[in-house]
């Protein structure tokens, strides 16, 4: 009896220790980067970057996978994509999830004491990537990583990583991202940005702006066919309420800051607008994943760059739109998991 009790106590202690370890892995940390000079010559004062780590770093430091955040997302949102059987397996890889500039966790208009609100400097997708590179190299002592894997705006950052630091990673997997915006994408992003900027000084306008952005997002996240065939009529009011709450989770100034970064995103501009010259700079193995029915990040630019790169491509079909990587998660994991392996 005593022996059994001791075994039970040991099992409980091991379980509690494992839970504690997982909790520590998911703990939000910050890297202080000091004054950060941006592409446009402006400076973010006392810049700090949020990040979380999962898994164990191998002795030769060869198992690092970086996950940047999507538009308005945080590293907290990425936790569900990390772990055994998920998009990136933290039992195999040392996963570093990084909060992008402007997401309300890393330096942003909403949390800057020295440059608050509209006074916050305008940054780019390249600036986001530069902060991540500094975190990895200067703060974590890493000179090379296994891969960068990013979804949506995280995919945009992944494309930027390919040309900004081409020798830093072995592999890159952009999911529903783009190397540059299409005209269709710009219509959506600029419409949202104009709403925010034109109503910034209008008393009581925030509620209307939030409602309008929520409506735009609902119309673009999925396809008309999806809603016509799968969305129940009585659930429409609830969808609006939930999306408005999601919009309110990030300040409008933070949203505007990340919108500007996406609007200016174009990895070809440093190569005279040439996709071929940009592709020639890429050294990583690349798997490009797009959704054929995506109405938020048009898949054509990513597919064209993949063709020029001669990269592997996975095109998700169906009427799931921008959320296809969630709806068809098993298909995505079946492609990503073996691709990340040496």
Gap between the terminal Cα atoms of the chain: 49
Helix (H, G, I), strand (E, B) or coil at 67: strand
To the question of pTM greater than 0.85 for the whole model, the response is yes
Helix (H) or strand (E) holding 240: helix 236-248
User: What are the domain boundaries of the chain?
Assistant: 25-184+259-340
Q: Given the structure tokens 């996963």, which residue do they identify?
A: 95
The pLDDT assigned to 25 comes to: 62
Q: What pLDDT, on the 0 to 100 scale, is given for residue 3? A: 36
Report the DSSP beta bridge partners of residue 168. none
- pLDDT on residue 26: 82
The reported pLDDT for the residue numbered 10 is: 38
pLDDT at res. 306: 98
> Is 58 in contact with 144 (CB distance < 8 Å)?
no
Reduced to 3 states (helix: H, G, I; strand: E, B; else coil), residue 33 is strand
Give the chain's radius of gyration (CA, Å): 21
Residue 131 contacts by C-beta under 8 Å, 6 or more apart in sequence? 33, 36, 47, 49, 98, 101, 106
DSSP, collapsed to helix, strand or coil, labels residue 31 as strand
Report the candidate in 107, 104, 106, 102 with the shortest Cα–Cα distance to residue 124. Answer: 102
* Three-state secondary structure call for residue 58: coil
Is 304 within 8 Å of 275 (Cβ atoms)? yes
- Which residues are CB-neighbours of 297 under 8 A, at least 6 positions away? 152, 155, 176, 177, 178, 185, 322
Give the Cα separation of 44 and 30 in Å (integer): 16
pLDDT digits (tens, 9 = 90+) for 141-171: 999 999 999 999 999 999 999 999 999 999 9
Cα maximum dimension of the chain: 77
Q: What is the pLDDT of residue 342?
A: 84
The 3 state secondary structure assigned to 258-313 is HHHHHHCCECCHHHCCCHHHHHHHCCCEEEEEEECCCCCCCCHHHHHHHHHHCCEE
Per-residue model confidence as pLDDT tens digits over 4-25: 434 444 333 333 333 433 444 6
Query: pLDDT at position 18, please?
Result: 39
- Distance, CA of 138 to CA of 132 (rounded, Å): 10
Q: 84: which DSSP letter?
A: T
Rounded mean pLDDT for each run of 10 residues along the chain, 342 residues in total: 40 37 71 98 98 97 98 97 97 98 98 97 98 98 98 98 98 98 98 96 94 97 96 97 96 98 98 98 98 98 98 97 97 98 88
Q: What is d(CA 32, CA 50) in angstroms, rounded to the nearest whole number?
A: 9
Looking at CATH, the fold of the domain delimited by 25-184+259-340 is given as Rossmann fold (3.40.50)
């Amino acid at each position: 009896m005593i022996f059994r009790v001791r075994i039970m106590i040991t099992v409980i202690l091991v379980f509690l220790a494992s839970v504690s370890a997982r909790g520590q892995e998911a703990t939000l940390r910050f890297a202080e980067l000091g004054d950060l000079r941006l592409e446009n010559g402006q400076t973010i004062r006392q810049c700090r970057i949020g990040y979380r780590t999962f898994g164990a770093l191998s002795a030769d430091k060869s198992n690092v996978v970086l996950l940047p955040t999507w538009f308005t997302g945080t590293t907290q949102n990425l936790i569900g994509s990390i772990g055994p059987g998920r998009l990136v397996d933290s039992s195999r890889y040392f996963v570093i999830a990084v909060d992008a500039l402007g997401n309300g966790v890393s330096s942003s208009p909403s949390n800057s004491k020295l440059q608050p609100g509209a006074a916050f400097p305008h940054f780019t997708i390249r600036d986001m990537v530069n902060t991540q590179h500094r975190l990895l190299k200067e703060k974590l002592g890493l000179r090379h990583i296994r891969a960068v894997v990013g979804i949506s705006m995280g995919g945009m950052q992944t494309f930027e990583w390919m040309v900004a630091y081409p020798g830093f990673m072995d592999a890159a997997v952009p999911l529903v991202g783009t190397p540059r915006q299409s005209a269709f994408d710009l219509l959506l992003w600029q419409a949202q940005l104009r709403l925010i900027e034109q109503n910034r000084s209008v008393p009581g306008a925030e509620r209307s702006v939030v409602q309008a952005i929520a409506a735009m997002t609902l119309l673009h996240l999925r396809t008309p066919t999806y809603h016509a065939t799968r969305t129940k009529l009585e659930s429409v009011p609830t969808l609006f309420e939930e999306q408005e709450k999601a919009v309110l989770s990030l300040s409008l100034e933070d949203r505007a800051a990340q919108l500007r970064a996406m609007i200016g995103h174009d990895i070809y501009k440093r190569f005279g607008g040439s996709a071929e010259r940009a592709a020639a700079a890429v050294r990583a193995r690349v798997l490009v994943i797009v959704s054929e029915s995506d109405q938020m990040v048009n898949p054509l630019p990513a597919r064209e760059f993949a063709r020029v790169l001669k990269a592997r491509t996975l095109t998700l079909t169906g009427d799931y739109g921008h959320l296809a990587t969630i709806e068809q998660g098993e298909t995505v994991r079946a492609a990503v998991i073996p691709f990340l392996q040496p």
